[in-house]
Amino acid sequence: MNRKQVIVGSLSKLNPYYLAKNNAVMFTVEIGFLLVLATGLALPAIPKEFASQTSIFYYEVAVILIITVWFATFSEALSEAEAKARVDSLRSLEREVSARKLVGEGKKEVIVASTSLKPGDEVLCYVGEIIPRDGLICEGKAFVDESMMTGESNPVFKDKDDHVIGGTRIASDKLRIEITAEVGRSFLDQMVSLIESATRPKTKNEIALTILLAGLSLIFIMVVGSLLFFAYFLGYIADIAMLIALLVALMPTTIGGLLSAIGVAGITRIGRDNIVAKSGKGIEAAGDCDILILDKTGTITEGSRSANEFVPLQKYTERDVGQAAFAASIHDTTHEGKSIVHLAEEKRFIPPLIEKILTARKIDFSAETRFSGLEFMPNKRIALDTELQEEATTIHKFEDGNGEEQINTNGNASRVSNMLIELEQRNEEVKILKGSVDAMLKFLTNVNEAELKWKAQEISKNGETPLLIAINSEGIGLVALKDNLKENIRQKLDDVHATGITTVMLTGDNQLTAQVIAKEANVDQVMAEAKPTDKLVRVEEEQSKGHVIGMVGDGTNDAPALAKADIGLAMNSGTAAAKEAANMVDLDSDPSKILKVVKLGKQLLMTRGAITTFSIANDVAKYFAILPAMFVTSNPKLAVLNIMQLHSPATAILATLIFNAIMIPALIPLSLRGVSFRPEPPEKTFIRNMLIYGLGGLALPFVGIKAIDVLLTYFMR
C-alpha cells in the first residue's frame, strides 16, 4: 500500500465540493472550520458577545475541526488504497518470464519470452519455475503453488488434462503444458478486469443513513442557530466557536466520517476471499438474506461423484455392468467418468473390441437428454493413431490373463462380451449409454422396470446416485455414485441456520437420494429432480413472499435466476452470461463461498449499525461538557451541569472536540475489519451490540473527555 498516495488522496478529498456531494456531516464540520478560522483572524472587529476568547483559542478549535475532517477523508482514502492494493498485487504477477517452448517434431527446447507464446504452443515447466500462461497439461503430474492467486497455502495436485493458471509456480516434478490463452486474456487478466470494472455506488441502506445524517445535521444547524439568537436576547455570551463546537458534538460525526470507509472495506474484505463484488448491492442484500438456494453438487457435496459399485440387473453380472460402464465412460473426461473407468480397470472388467470403442463417436451429455456414451459400427475399420494405440496397449494390461477374453465363474465369456461380438457379426450399430434412470427408461424396451426401480431405490437409501447402464435398448445394470459432503459443511450450515436463514438444496437427484444427503448436511428444504429452469421459478416464488434470496450459478441457464436473486454469485469458470447476470463473481469457482458472502454481508450491516449506535451514544456526554462551558460565564448557576468537573470553558470545548476527532481514527481498524460475527439469532446480536456499543459509547466519552481535560490543564498552566 502506497502511504504517500493515501495521504495525498485524503488531502484532495478535503475539497468542499467533494464533501458537499459525498458527506454532508463532514462538509458541515469544514464550514465550521472556516467560520472559526475567520473569527480568529477578524477577532478585533467582532463584538465580545460573539467572540469572548483569545485568538489562540479560535485557531486551536479551527485546527481540531479540520483535523476531524481529515481523519474522515483519511479513513476513506485508506480503505480505497486497500482495494487498489488487491489489483496491484495481481498485476505484479503479470510480469514477463522466460518460457521453455517446444518446437519442431523433435520437441526441442527454445527459451522465449512468455509474451510471445500463442494458443497451441507447448512449453515445459520444471519445479520452481513459473507457469508462463494459462494452459492445459499434456503430460506429467505435479503439485502447483497457487497461493499468490487464490491465497490457499497448500499446493494443488495437477494431472493430465487439468488446467493451470499463468503466474503460478510448479512446486514439484515437471509438466508439459499446451498454452490456451492469448496475451491479455488469461485468468489473471479476467480477475483484474473484473475488479477494475466493479463500481461502488451507494447502497440503499447507505443512502438511507446518509439522508438521516444530512437531516440530523440540518436540524442541529437550526437548533444551534436558534440558540444564538436566544442567547443574545437573554444577554448571554454566545461565542461562535462554542456554538460550532456544540454543533459538531451534536452531529454523529463518527459514523459520518467512517460511512464511506465501511462500504469500501466491505468490498475489499470480500475481495480477500477472491470474490469480486460488482457493487455493494449484493453484499448489503446478503446481510438481510433469509433464504439460500444451494446446488447440491459443488456446494454441499464435493461435486466429484465417484463410482462406488456396479449393480447388475436380471441375468447380468457385476462384470457385465463394469464392462458396459467402462465403454460408456472411456471418452468421458469428467471426474465421474474417470472414476468409472478406474473402478472397472481395478476389477479388470475390460470389454472386447477396445480398438473400436476408442474410435467410436462420442455422445455428449446434455441437460435435456441426461445421458452420455458412445456409438459405433462393429465392422467399421478405423486406424488408430499413435496416441490411441498407446491407450489401447495400456488398457489391455488390465485384462485377465494375457489379453484374452474375460471369463466369468462358469467359464463362459461374459454376456456383454457375447452381445458385442454378436452385434459385430450381425453388423449392427452399437450404442452404449449411461445416464439418469428416469431419462433412460423412456427409450429402453428390454428391462425389468420393477427390479430396476427397486435396486435404484436401495442405492439411493445409502445417499448414493444410481446411474443406469444400457446397450442399445437393453438395461444392463447400475453404477452407484458416491458424492461426499464437503468438509465441515454441516457446521457451516448450522451456523447459517443459527442466524435465522432457511436453506434449500436444489438437485437433479431423485427424492430419496436428495433427502438422505439433506439430512446428513442438515438442509431445511429439498428440491429433487429439479431442472435448471426450476431455479428461477423458486427464486420468484420466494421473493413474492417477501424473502431475500441468495443463490449460486455458473451456466447460461442460471443467468435469469442469478439476475433475479438478491445475491447472485457466479463462478468464474462459468459462462459469460452467468457472470454478467450475477452481482458477484467467485474467482476460485467454489460454490460454497455463498456462505462466506452471507457472513460478510451480515458483518457489514452489524459494523455500520454498531458504529452508528456508538456515535449517537457519544453525544450525551458531550452535551454535559459543552452546554455548561458555553453559558457558565453568563449564568454561574449552570455550573451544576458540569458533572465532569472540567477545568474551564476553554479546556472543556477543546477536550470535547479532541475526543470527537480521535474517535474517527480509533475506529478505522474496526470499520475496515468489521464487527466480529457470531452465528446466533439476530435478537441476541442486537442486545449484545447495544450493550457494547450503546452503553460503551455512553460511558467512554465521560472518561475520555475528563482525561483530555486533565492533560490540557496540566500543559496549559
pLDDT at 236: 76
Taking domain 307-482, whether its CATH number is 3.40.1110.10 is answered by yes
Residue 273 banded pLDDT, cuts 50, 70, 90: confident
Secondary structure of 596-661 as H, E, C letters: HHHHHHHHHHHHHHHHHHHHHHHHHHHHHHHHHHHHCCCCHHHHHHCCCCCCCHHHHHHHHHHHHH
pLDDT above 80: residue 271: no
Residue 73 banded pLDDT, cuts 50, 70, 90: very high
Residue 323 banded pLDDT, cuts 50, 70, 90: very high
* Of residues 424, 416, 434, 425, the one with CA closest to residue 356: 424
Q: Which residue has the higher pLDDT, 388 or 673?
A: 673
The letter for the amino acid at 77 is A
For 476-531, the pLDDT digits (tens) are 999 999 888 887 888 888 888 888 889 998 887 778 888 888 888 899 999 888 87
List b or e across 504-518, with b for residues whose CB sees 16 or more CB atoms inside 10 angstroms: bbbbbbbebbbbbbb
Domain 288-302+485-586, what fold? Rossmann fold (3.40.50)
Domain with CATH 3.40.1110.10 in the chain: 307-482
Percentage of residues in the chain having pLDDT higher than 70: 90
Catalytic residues: 295
pLDDT above 90: residue 33: yes
For 150-161, the pLDDT digits (tens) are 555 568 888 887
pLDDT above 80: residue 85: no
d(CA 412, CA 415): 9
* Of residues 453, 502, 414, 141, the one with CA closest to residue 313: 453
Q: Is the whole model's pTM more than 0.75, yes or no?
A: no
Domain with CATH 3.40.50.1000 in the chain: 288-302+485-586
Taking the alpha carbons at both ends of the chain, their separation in whole angstroms is 42
Give whichever of 352-361, 366-375, 703-712 has the largest mean pLDDT: 703-712
pLDDT above 70: residue 411: no
d(CA 529, CA 539): 17
Summarize the confidence of residues 250-278 as an average pLDDT: 80
For 120-168, the pLDDT digits (tens) are 899 999 988 888 888 889 988 888 887 766 555 568 888 887 888 888 8
The letter for the amino acid at 552 is V
pLDDT above 60: residue 696: yes
> What counts of helices (H) and strands (E) characterise the chain?
26, 22
For 368-408, the pLDDT digits (tens) are 788 999 998 766 666 555 555 665 566 665 665 444 444 33
> Residue 465 in contact with residue 459, Cβ under 8 Å?
yes
**460525526: which residue's cell?**
253
Give whichever of 86-90, 367-371, 444-448 has the largest mean pLDDT: 444-448
Summarize the confidence of residues 215-241 as an average pLDDT: 80
